[in-house]
Structure 1
Amino acid sequence: MERSSSSMDILNVFSVPALLAFICVCIFYIRLSLREGNKALPPSYPIVGSLFSILKNRRRFPEWFTELLIMAPSHTIKLNRGGRRAVITANPANVEHILKTRFEIYPKGDLFSSVLHDLLGRGIFNADGETWKLQRRVASFEFSTRSLRDFIHETVHGEITDRLLPLLRKAAAAGSQLDMQDVLQRFAFDNICKVAFGTDPGCLDISLPVSEFAEAFEVATALIVRRFGDVLPFGWRVKRMLNLGSEKTLRHAIQRVHGFAEEVIRKRKDDDKCGGRQDLLSRFLGVAEKDSHDDFLRDIVVSFILAGRDTTSAALTWFFWLLSSHPRVEERINGEIARVVAARTEKEASGFCYEELKEMNYLHAAICESMRLYPPVPSDSKEASEQDVLPDGTVVSRGTRVTYHPYAMGRMESIWGKDCLEFKPERWVKEEENGSAVFVSENSFKYPVFQAGPRICLGKEMAFIQMKCIAASVIEEFSIKVDPNLNPKFIVSLTAKMENGLPVVVEKKRPN
């Protein structure tokens, strides 16, 4: 007993000072973080860093980071999460530095690639170095002006005329409600499969159930992003190794996604033996003969489905929601469409050609303005491969995750003015005396919705053409009515979405 009591006394003697020392260190770190950074930063503690604040705000990251970045003097903050160092910025000069000036030292990095590898593999959005350069070079042939014209004529027109408009007419006649986000995702999925892989999944036929692939893709993209939010950096790896919980569900979803992609590849190989068409997948098949790995092709298919399905549908979902509460903007778009139609030499022509869509500058401005407030990819991160100093003086250590934040940038008064929270397409146009609008583009580092620099989105023009063609065709014939009390939530997966979709009622316009 005496020995036990003595041991306890010794333990108490050492534990009390240790506790006091730990408290002192915590206080020191808090004061240091406030002194070195700014009062916008959340508290930072030894070992865990700002983990508690991150967990508290994990369901509202875009809004939380925006609040922190607005308060930061240079619109840049540093965070530490359990040893993971991060720099987050909404400063255009920093964005240009990361995406262009020092592009070579800011790759995607090992953390990003390892987290997403099970789904995206070595696809273009998860690749660096020579693998990325190869895919970009091969894909660039599909985005020439001639390809864009063919895309509109052969693919988009057919999907709009044969599926989208009949679907909306049926809903208007029945007075039934549609989920516009679901409709746009189905449309975009059909489109990217047709133009890139030469296959038609027919997803826009609402009478059919949601495809197994579409369901699996939703699950896979949602669950794989959760890995970034794990409290323990290795937590998801343990669950994957043991095949437990969300990782078990994710594994099944990825198997179905990869199965779809592999079937697309198999069919295309069979078609090409018979002298099939030339499209994106066919170009990569030629390159992959040297590589000989079907996994390489599978990763490309999944990456381009992600790009073609989720980004444009997300952008248009928020566009139609904003348009429903801004009748003045819709009226002006209507006027622009009417002028384009009136100028046609062939009065019986239906659908909009490439040249007509290029003339719709105010519609282009309205879509840009919608994406300024609700970018399809609200943030993007790189990893510093060596120590660096950003233009605003922020020191970046080697291995630090560096994130630029288009969602926050769209809400900065210092970038867009005091009316930055307003939906105002006029900020993108120069008014002509005849009442028409000339589109005025913005610096891509101020508006990095499509990235910028060497990694700027190859499909930018194709995305705009597709979005404008859909928007013009729908607005010309219908009014999209949304409950004015709807307050949709902006949620982030690999791309941004509207939580629970966009329920709308479609009303057919009376002919003039």
Structure 2
Amino acid sequence: MKTFKTTIVPCANQSIDRLVKVLKSTAEVNQSIDFCNLFYCYTLESFVQMTFGTDLGLLGIEYNDEEKARSPSKLSQTTIPFAKAFEFAQDQLDFRIAMVMGWQMMEKLNTSMGSRMRNSCRVLDEYVYSLIDERMTKSAQISEFEDKESAHSDLLSVFMNAREERGGGLGCTELRDTTLSLIVAGRDTTAHTLSWAFFHVLMNKDLVSKIREEAIEILGDRDSDQDRVTYENYKQFIWSQAVVHEALRLHPSIPKSGRYVASDDRIPGGPTVEAGNLVRWSAWKMGRDASLWGPDCGEFKPDRWIDETGRIKKVGPFKFPAFGGGPRICIGQNLAMLQAVKVMVEVFKQFDLEFAPGCMPSFRLEFMSSCVFQHRLENVPKSEAIEGVASRYPTPMYRPSLTLPMAHPMMVSVQRRTSSAESISP
């Protein structure tokens, strides 16, 4: 609780403020912006900020004489060495998992791929180790009478202080592993969840009103530091939570997973498994299982998550495995929900969003000919249409990955809300 208040929420506020600034700039120059890329930049910036207390500058806007502003839709991670290395390493991890045992041979045959992966890891190591070394040096200079905990409010400091309190523990390598694991685990999963959630909300405009009305009821219609989503109040935003849960049901951040069997056992209602067997399951498929979710399982219906008392329904992790279950349940699920709800509330409270002209056709599944159909689905997991699960509208194609990213940009037009903008000084 203390870490959320002193570290996570302040960092989340800073990152949200930068995201909002990008959206304001987008609205001012009447441009559209790729929300998928925006959320990639936001989540990487946010997780690096809360982990290391440093700003990557991914959400900055550059001004020059030729343009009012660099197009926010072209926000790029490739100009930042850490972000560029992180992006490639993440994609390569997806490739390795997909290849299972064959990736080592593939990287030997394609030497440039293996070399680039090693270089990316070196860039990540150098960046993280430099921050750890700098922090250790500063920590050693703080006198025993000073509060080391208040000297830096980020997760690296939390881990280092915990280490000192235990009289040992995490060394530099372990600190690197722990901090990078946090960023890897949270960056893509949160970005993709936000992309899918915003897509469905824009396809169901009645949800915008529900999210906005609830936000104004709880926070008021002003936008100030005192009227924000916090760790204490985020669970009050029922409709935003329901939207995020429904997006995770249909588009789980980890669509497929598996575990090796430790000892002979029998799966309840299923087969006998032997030690060493690999048991796989698909959270994506489970979210479209009529026996679990009813005949309307293909529809995006956030109200399925709201009970008769107006509260969020509690659904077991083995029906809704978006955050895993058992001893390996995601330790960051509260952080993920806080961030997702915070973004939804603060963005829809301040802005009106529409799909940019020409964006929607790229989202539609192509059925004009078997040739086009095959081309659109090449190397892409099955969609709702192929599975035979009924849905009111097709969803964007997604590319194979450890997570579940959209295959194409989601271009969105942004306008500031008059009622909200009037209380904000430019």
With the length of structure 1 as denominator, give the TM-score of the two structures: 0.65
Q: Give the SS at the match of 1:491.
A: coil
Q: Give the SS at the match of 1:380.
A: strand
Q: Which residue of 1 is the match for residue 88 of structure 2?
A: 219
How far apart are 1:303 and its partner, in Å?
0.6
Identity, % of aligned positions = 28
How far apart are 1:353 and its partner, in Å?
3.5
Is 1:421 aligned to residue 298 of structure 2? yes
Q: Which residue of 2 is the match for residue 263 of structure 1?
A: 130
Give the Cα–Cα distance (whole angstroms) in 1 for the partners of residues 247 and 185 of structure 2.
Answer: 18
How far apart are 1:168 and its partner, in Å?
0.4
| Matched length | 360
Q: Which residue of 2 is the match for residue 176 of structure 1?
A: 31
User: Contact (CA 8 Å) 1:213, 1:257: kept in 2 or not?
Assistant: yes
Q: Which residue of 1 is the match for residue 159 of structure 2?
A: 284
How far apart are 1:337 and its partner, in Å?
1.2
Where do 1:261-410 residues align within 5 Å? 261-275=128-142, 276-277=151-152, 279-285=154-160, 287=163, 290=168, 293-342=171-220, 349-410=226-287
- Which residue of 252, 259, 267 corresponds with 2:119? 252
Q: 1:248 to 1:280 in 2, by over 3 A?
A: same
Query: Does 303-312 or 500-509 show the bigger shift?
Result: 500-509
Query: Does 220-229 or 301-310 show the bigger shift?
Result: 220-229
Q: 1:485 to 1:150 in 2, by over 3 A?
A: farther
Any gaps of 5 or more consecutive residues in structure 2?
63-74, 143-150, 364-395, 421-426
Give the Cα–Cα distance (whole angstroms) in 1 for the partners of residues 229 and 265 of structure 2.
Answer: 49
User: Contact (CA 8 Å) 1:365, 1:425: kept in 2 or not?
Assistant: yes
How far apart are 1:504 and its partner, in Å?
1.4
How far apart are 1:406 and its partner, in Å?
1.2
- Which residue of 394, 397, 402 corresponds with 1:489? 397
Q: 1:258 to 1:206 in 2, by over 3 A?
A: farther
Q: 1:239 to 1:358 in 2, by over 3 A?
A: closer
Give the Cα–Cα distance (whole angstroms) in 1 for the partners of residues 34 and 330 of structure 2.
Answer: 28
User: Contact (CA 8 Å) 2:286, 2:319: kept in 1 or not?
Assistant: yes
Q: Which residue of 2 is the match for residue 190 of structure 1?
A: 45
Give the Cα–Cα distance (whole angstroms) in 1 for the partners of residues 184 and 191 of structure 2.
Answer: 11
Give the Cα–Cα distance (whole angstroms) in 2 for the partners of residues 157 and 256 of structure 1.
Answer: 28
How far apart are 1:243 and its partner, in Å?
6.9
- Which residue of 456, 468, 490 corresponds with 2:341? 468
Query: Does 235-244 or 191-200 show the bigger shift?
Result: 235-244
Any gaps of 5 or more consecutive residues in structure 1?
1-143
* CA displacement, residues 404-432 of structure 1 (integer Å, 9 cap, x when unaligned): 22111111001000100111011000245
User: Contact (CA 8 Å) 1:480, 1:504: kept in 2 or not?
Assistant: yes
Superposed CA RMSD: 2.6
* CA displacement, residues 281-328 of structure 1 (integer Å, 9 cap, x when unaligned): 234345398467533222212111112322111110111111111011
How far apart are 1:263 and its partner, in Å?
2.1
Give the Cα–Cα distance (whole angstroms) in 2 for the partners of residues 485 and 397 of structure 1.
Answer: 48
Give the Cα–Cα distance (whole angstroms) in 2 for the partners of residues 266 and 485 of structure 1.
Answer: 50
Letter in 2 for 1:158: Q
Give the Cα–Cα distance (whole angstroms) in 1 for the partners of residues 283 and 36 of structure 2.
Answer: 21
User: Contact (CA 8 Å) 1:381, 1:402: kept in 2 or not?
Assistant: yes
How far apart are 1:340 and its partner, in Å?
1.1
Letter in 2 for 1:464: M
User: Contact (CA 8 Å) 2:219, 2:227: kept in 1 or not?
Assistant: no
Which structure has greater helix proportion?
1
Q: Give the SS at the match of 2:399.
A: strand
Whichever of the two has the greater Rg, that structure is: 1
Letter in 2 for 1:474: V
Give the Cα–Cα distance (whole angstroms) in 2 for the partners of residues 304 and 347 of structure 1.
Answer: 30
